[in-house]
Amino acid sequence: GNPIQVPVGVGTLGRIMNVIGEPIDEGGPIASEGLRAIHQEAPTYTEQSTEAEILVTGIKVVDLLAPYAKGGKIGLFGGAGVGKTVLIQELINNVAKAHGGNSVFAGVGERTREGNDLYHEFIESKVNADPHNPDPAVKSKCALVFGQMNEPPGARMRVALSGLTVAEHFRDQGQDVLFFIDNIFRFTQAGSEVSALLGRIPSAVGYQPTLATDMGALQERITTTHKGSITSVQAIYVPADDLTDPAPATSFAHLDATTVLNRAISEKGIYPAVDPLDSTSRMLSPLIVGQEHYETARMVQQVLQKYKSL
């Protein structure tokens, strides 16, 4: 047979599919522009684009201290229950609505309830059209691909690739796409389960020996080409709040901006619980954001650093 192929194109917008491209929203078959295999080569060095542009999120702490790159990779790091999914929903609300282009949301090994909430939230906020009560003025803007906690590890390991394949199709048509992944840690976790089932010898902390390869194969495909861009926002669960754990540590290398959510800040009731000193961005350079923004951000960090050390 063939490798897994999923439907791509405008027909996927507003629909929910699983890892093998079957609709799971009881909305009938997906009217696709064709099928595309989920295993693809990453764009070559010459196909990639290197323009630096800021993506404005409307979240002040992020835009000032660790701004996001348009067409870049963004990681939201945080332990259990500090608000990663809520922040992703906030970003979808601010960025996906203002951005006007298409988005793809890949739910990888997270709670089914959250996926259900998100689906209905999209319909309420007019990001997607309501299939049962169609409004001609509302055009769906987001495709959803889910492989949640109750799926077998093989499905959870591949569902990020299925979502990425849908996003790549839009990019290759010349669009700027937003690609949300919640949660990239579950991709690694599923990989480690599959690795154990295959009888491979585990490496550090019991993860699969191919951890870096698996992560690289996914992340290298999320990139901006001369045709269009994929801006990805990835929630990254941090086991036991330890950023040096191999799973979050491997993903650090691939990111342009990191937003670290801190439990101590969330316990004070400050949301989003962004740690302004731990969060970093490649874009915070006077050549990109301008001298005034750069100096303001550095002064803010200085004040916060003094406060922290007192």
Convert the pLDDT of each residue in 103-133 to its tens digit.
Answer: 999 999 999 998 999 999 889 988 899 988 8
Residue 55 resides in a domain: yes
pLDDT of the residue at 245? 96
How far is the C-alpha of 175 from the C-alpha of 286, rounded, in Å? 28
How far is the C-alpha of 145 from the C-alpha of 7, rounded, in Å? 11
- DSSP labels, 56-71: --S-HHHHHHSPEETT
Residue 223 resides in a domain: yes
What domain range includes position 69?
5-280
Find the CATH number of the domain harbouring 24. 3.40.50.300
CA of 175: how far to CAs of 31, 38, 43, 145, 193, in Å?
A: 20, 19, 16, 19, 36
* 267: annotated active-site residue: no
Q: Does 99 have pLDDT greater than 80?
A: no
* 84: annotated active-site residue: yes
Position 16 confidence tier, pLDDT thresholds 50, 70, 90: very high
How far is the C-alpha of 86 from the C-alpha of 53, rounded, in Å? 25
3-class DSSP state of 158: helix
What digits encode the pLDDT tens for the residues 240-279? 999 999 999 999 999 999 999 999 999 999 999 999 999 9
CA of 292: how far to CAs of 52, 78, 286, 288, 299, in Å?
A: 18, 30, 8, 11, 11
The one catalytic residue in 111, 126, 139, 282 is 111
Looking at the whole model, is its pTM more than 0.85? yes
pLDDT of the residue at 95? 84
Helices (H) and strands (E) in the chain, counts: 11, 12
Q: Does 175 have pLDDT greater than 80?
A: yes
Position 96 confidence tier, pLDDT thresholds 50, 70, 90: confident
The one catalytic residue in 15, 70, 73, 110 is 110
Residue 303 resides in a domain: no
pLDDT of the residue at 178? 93
* 200: annotated active-site residue: no
pLDDT of the residue at 50? 84
φ, ψ (nearest 5 deg) of residue 289: -90, -10
3-class DSSP state of 133: coil
260 strand-pairing partners: 77
In the chain, the amino acid numbered 251 is S
Across 218-227, average pLDDT:
95
Position 81 confidence tier, pLDDT thresholds 50, 70, 90: confident
Residue 20 resides in a domain: yes
Residue 306 resides in a domain: no
Across 140-156, average pLDDT:
95
What the block records as the tokens of 257 is 């901006």
The one catalytic residue in 36, 70, 73, 84 is 84
The domain total for the chain is 1
Residue 102 resides in a domain: yes
First to last CA, the chain: 64
Q: Does 94 have pLDDT greater than 90?
A: no
How far is the C-alpha of 65 from the C-alpha of 8, rounded, in Å? 36
Residue 289 resides in a domain: no
Q: Give the residue among 155, 178, 149 at the shortest CA–CA distance from 166.
A: 178
Q: Does 100 have pLDDT greater than 80?
A: no
Compute the mean pLDDT over every residue in the chain, rounded to the nearest whole number.
94
Q: Can the peptide bond before residue 272 be classed as cis, meaning omega within 30 degrees of 0?
A: yes
In the chain, the amino acid numbered 101 is G
Residue 285 resides in a domain: no
